[in-house]
Structure 1
């Protein structure tokens, strides 16, 4: 990337000045103790519930290259993979599960995408570095949020800032530059005192199309920005009231789609409150109201050359530009109360969600107005209890019920469902062995989501009456268990699961005749399925400076109705990390090894991708280093795919024919990629 372009960016210039000023100030304060250099994250980090809940710090640099969106970041956590379309806005899978089986929340609220092909998945609107913490609850092991996810619940959250009269400000700024024109700028600043604050999160990210290991350009450019502001009031240490608002937009070129995303506009408003220590029993009451409006436009002419079609009047080939606009308005409410009696902790609450979906299509042959085509509303109540038997054992259990109604306006039809869910889990500690374990059984029913109900069209506009009426709710019964152990310099962990899914919603792709020829599109059906798998890791501290760890993840699924493999499951993957750590600097290596995937179900999958063929094994090597320049100013650098290998992930989509890809040819991943990131805290 040309350096002058960086300095012309106002946000980059501001961050650069802030970093320089902070560095100069820190240089003068030589008596202040230096902070240790940060480690580039390449392995699983902290956890809770004896390993069931994973915590991650999205403000730390990660490898491969720091994330562009929520899906990018989650791939660094064992168990997650991504169905990629190009350079950004992939769609995550966890343990082979996809879509609404993974509950994605930001500050406890859900914001849904609008694209019928999930071009704007919920993670597309998330910039990870603007959040303070990511938590992942594996399996159906919580009931605290509406329409519980059966595979996992993922929460991106910002914490309440702690300001004082002595330091009425805090913040962080970073700039990242990389190969293929990558440039990210991120700033977060909070001003106020012990009773009030204003916080601003702003970021911008852009990149040109990358090249694979053979030097071929893969259409994958993007540009995006986010801005969020929060006004907080904390009249005393037990009270917190916060008003939030945000906007964002972007565009993305997709190698794996026949259209690109030319608009990803988001508007959001939120109000939350929290009151602690009301009585000796009532420890906390909390509530929130969140509104989001996502406006997405996809087209085939703004970022690429439009396809040609035959004009019946002139008998000549003419360009055929087309676009589709879709919107989703979502309103979430939640109220919860936390109570404690001796060894018992109880969280109870109610929540609701209403969302409206609208869409229109414009081309040479049709020009439809933007009209609402689906309304969704749900109301739920839950209770989650933890009981501490003794210092070694704790029981955690919960139950909830959701009442859901879906109106298909174009079909003049609706359906209503009552969805129960619940779990029970035992957590144990073994101090004499420095070990912990958990075992839990969870059950959840999931109503077919918008994409399964309305995007299963056999070549039509997405309103299939049989799909809407005939798809049953999906019912998952899953056993989750885990164990972690620390002994001197050695540590190990494992999380395993096994589940039975009745009426699993499976997408099958095949050719269908339509008014304009043939289309390769999906239909949904219910099958029964069995799933199992694990994530595991080993670590060893060779010395004060040298540490290593290895981790692996494997997911398996069987369509027991048809005696076939479940599709779109990432293959066995292992990661080996080696680090050299000193006070001021670190050096790291990440070796990723991925097996071939021969358990496939041809032309079956989900609303985004389907199994095309068996995939080949591959491995990639990445190197990183970090250095603490001075107090609160750090630099991290990295080289991804050091050997410049040409490879494709099993879940990558087939390339678009508009870019010259064959019908079953997947696009390749990024070749050798250099990046550098400077960050400061203040």
Structure 2
């Protein structure tokens, strides 16, 4: 797939640094991932650390970006972590719509339902820098996007790709078929992937097998010179997925996504553009082990109306969005077939939001951008009073929290202000001050996992929403040979939702918390064909009520890369050093009762890749990840529950890979 089938627009760090006179054509386009996707950045600096090898899903791709980590529980479905925040602290949209997974234990985060090759662009916005894409988003926003197709004069395009990773015998096949012209198009995307168990750096087999398929049908029609209508239907199926970090596996997880988009360009008023988007995402999921089987469902529907305008010399974006999510999950005893407990007892969360955002160039050296957002949230659990396994979810909420009412409502107000100042032609300074409010999700509010024997996992229906107050300072530079940025951020959180362990049970409460960190990136053009890059990420997280560390905070990481590009050849080497994480809140420590598995040792990795692009459009790429077969785990990853020692799910050892792609 020789075209720009995937762009990773990293609006992290200083993505909005674009003064009125800056020509966006100066943005660097950086080829990554064996020439198939491209990295497109408005920051105008080389971003290091992007994975060159094939990836199983969007989570694995994001995990390789600077400042983005992940929680691994199995062979796929990595759950992204940005600046120490994850799950619903991140707004993740697939082609304009939300999808909430069907597993209370996060076997299927939204990125699990992304076939990377099927999207034209992925945008990552770190921190709270916009109010357009939903409430919350304190950790960041990730947009998997598809564009209106630009098809060759012949009226059709066909793109094929295939990859193979030796460790785990993992293979992926993809096809993207397009037909149409200026007035409309049809597009069919198919993807299939399969993997056996991989081995870690010590040669131990990790239960990571999976079988994945997805198909998407997209259509677009031009209703007039300035109006387009697009619709899509996508079905993703996961089968026989193994999760050593969950003590349960997933025989199936199926998602169906429907999207409709209407866009109209105005030509004779202060209005510039109208966008109306509607979506529906339905997920059915099953997890099981020898003792339990638990079917679940998660249905999400919503819409967004967005208007772009220009008035009073300000570029405006304003609109409204709606989102409704219904979830149900019941666990049954395998031996008796009787209901044992309900993880999600008929949970419904409705959100209605209104937002406005404006950007004004004060002069040639200063730009001010600000936005505000109001969200109304209503949550309830319609089956909380039903009996499952001899008791009701409500009785468990009452026992642990004294709660007698499961319904709640919130009125949340957030916003941001960004000042961008050009110090001189080489340096730009940006300051962002923001407040974002993140409501508790279905699991934090209502999970009622209560087996007859063993630990209980009980949500708190009356949790207060998190209020994140963030300050970020960014210094960016752009020169002929040198590009770089330094970002310093601080996040004070009121009513941080903390999952903690008490007397062996997992519970939730609100605490005060603080997160802060530094991200630095630099790229230097050594010669016309050689580029040296480096990125450093450091962060801390603290429970301010107890002065104890927050769980799953990424350790210090330094990534250095050397890339070669000449004519049809590309090659590169990446060296990643990750420090040990000793600042932990262990689940086994009764004084802390956090989610950390252990103090994680540091590690170093070397990855190699090369690529050749033939004149026919065929691209051949190959490489080796973890060249020296190091044994390591990501600090954020889940406990390998099949291991008697407290060890996170291990990462793959040495992995030789090959990828072929082409356009016809």
TM over 0.5: yes
SS of corresponding position for 2:363: coil
Shift of residue 167 of structure 1? 3.0
1:202-260 Cα offsets, whole Å, 9 max, x none, are 11111111111221111111110111111110133421101111111013111212111
How many Å apart are 1:43 and its aligned residue?
A: 10
The SS at the match of 2:163 is strand
Alignment-derived partner of residue 379 in structure 1:
352
**What is the alpha-carbon distance in structure 2 between the residues aligned to residue 37 and residue 115 of structure 1?**
33
Q: CA deviation at 1:195?
A: 0.8
How far apart are the structure 2 equivalents of 1:257 and 1:464?
14
Query: Partners in 2 of 1:202 and 1:90 — Cα distance?
Result: 21
Gaps of 5+ in 2: 20-26, 39-49, 386-405
Q: CA deviation at 1:527?
A: 0.9
Structure 1 window deviating more from structure 2 (359-368 vs 554-563): it is 359-368
Any conservation in 1 of the 2:353–2:376 contact (CA below 8 Å)? yes
SS at match of 1:665: coil
Please tell me whether the aligned partners of residues 456 and 464 of structure 1 are also in contact (alpha carbons under 8 angstroms). yes
Answer yes or no: is 1:293 the counterpart of 2:282: yes
Cross-structure match for 2:533:
549
Which of 70, 76, 97 is the matching residue for 2:85? 97
Tell me how far 1:535 sits from its aligned partner. Answer: 1.5
Which of 353, 371, 375 is residue 398 of structure 1 equivalent to?
371
Would you say 1:323 and 2:316 are equivalent positions?
no
Structure 2: distance between partners of 1:51 and 1:94: 23
Match of 2:470 among 475, 478, 481: 478
Residue 414 and residue 287 in structure 1: after superposition, are their counterparts in 2 closer, same or farther (change >3 A)?
same
1:579 aligns with 2:563: yes
Q: Partners in 1 of 2:149 and 2:271 — Cα distance?
A: 24
Identify the residue that residue 424 of structure 1 maps to in structure 2.
417
Checking the alignment, whether the CA contact within 8 Å between 1:196 and 1:233 is kept in structure 2 is yes
Contact 1:213 1:645 in 2 (8 A): yes
Query: In structure 1, what is the equivalent of residue 427 of structure 2?
Result: 435
Q: CA RMSD in A?
A: 3.0
Query: What SS does the corresponding residue of 2:101 show, helix, strand or coil?
Result: coil
Q: Which residue of 1 aligns with 2:315?
A: 345
Q: Is the 8 A contact 2:448 2:458 kept in 1?
A: no
Q: How far 1:534 sits from its partner (Å)?
A: 1.9
Distance 1:45 1:407 in 2: 35
Evaluate the alpha carbon distance shift between residue 216 and residue 42 of structure 1 in structure 2; reply closer, same or farther with a 3 A threshold.
Answer: farther
- Preserved contact between residue 13 and residue 485 of structure 2 (Cα < 8 Å): no
Give the one of 603, 623, 639 matched to 2:608. 623
CA distance in 2, matches of 1:38, 1:499: 35
Give the equivalent residue in structure 1 for 2:501. Answer: 509
What is the CA–CA distance in structure 2 between the aligned matches of 1:244 and 1:39, rounded to whole Å? 18
**Aligned counterpart, 1:136:** 124
**How many equivalent pairs are there?**
614
Q: Which residue of structure 2 lines up, in the alignment, with residue 599 of structure 1? A: 583
2:204 matched to 1:234? no
Confirm whether residue 490 of structure 1 aligns to residue 482 of structure 2.
yes
SS in 2 for 1:400: strand
Question: Structure 1: which 5+ runs fail to align?
Answer: 1-18, 20-34, 301-305, 307-319, 513-520
| TM-score, length basis structure 1 | 0.85
Q: Please, which moves more after superposition, 489-498 or 152-161?
A: 489-498
Is 1:568 paired with 2:545? Answer: no
Distance 1:364 1:510, change over 3 A: farther
Matched, 1:118 2:109: no
**Deviation of residue 40 (structure 1)?**
13
* Cα distance in 2 between the residues matched to 1:349 and 1:462: 45
Query: 1:377-435 CA deviation, whole Å, 9 max, x = no partner?
Result: 111111011111122211110001011100111235311111111111112234x4322
Shift of 1:496: 2.1
> How many angstroms does 1:372 deviate by?
5.9
Alignment match, 1:367:
338
2:308 matches 1:358: no
Q: What's the CA shift string for 1:617-639, capped at 9, x where partnerless?
A: 11010110000122422111110
Indicate the SS of the match to 1:632. Answer: coil
Distance 1:202 1:496 in 2: 42
The counterpart of 2:596, out of the listed 601, 604, 611, is 611
What is the CA–CA distance in structure 2 between the aligned matches of 1:411 and 1:465, rounded to whole Å?
12
Q: Deviations over 1:276-332 (max 9, x none)?
A: 0243311100101101100111112xxxxx4xxxxxxxxxxxxx4x31111011001
C-alpha separation in 2, matches of 1:258 and 1:291: 31
Q: Counterpart of 1:74 in 2: which secondary structure? A: helix
Q: SS of the residue aligned with 1:50?
A: coil
Query: 2:621 maps to which residue?
Result: 636
Change in 2 beyond 3 A, CA 1:65/1:42: farther
1:453–1:468 CA contact under 8 A, matched in 2:
yes
Compared with structure 1, are the counterparts of its residues 391 and 42 closer, same or farther at alpha carbon in structure 2 (3 Å cutoff)?
closer
> What SS does the aligned partner of 1:468 have?
coil
Q: 1:414 to 1:115 in 2, by over 3 A?
A: same
Counterpart Cα distance in 2 of 1:42 and 1:613:
35
Q: Helix, strand or coil: the match of 1:71?
A: helix
Distance 1:84 1:210, change over 3 A: same
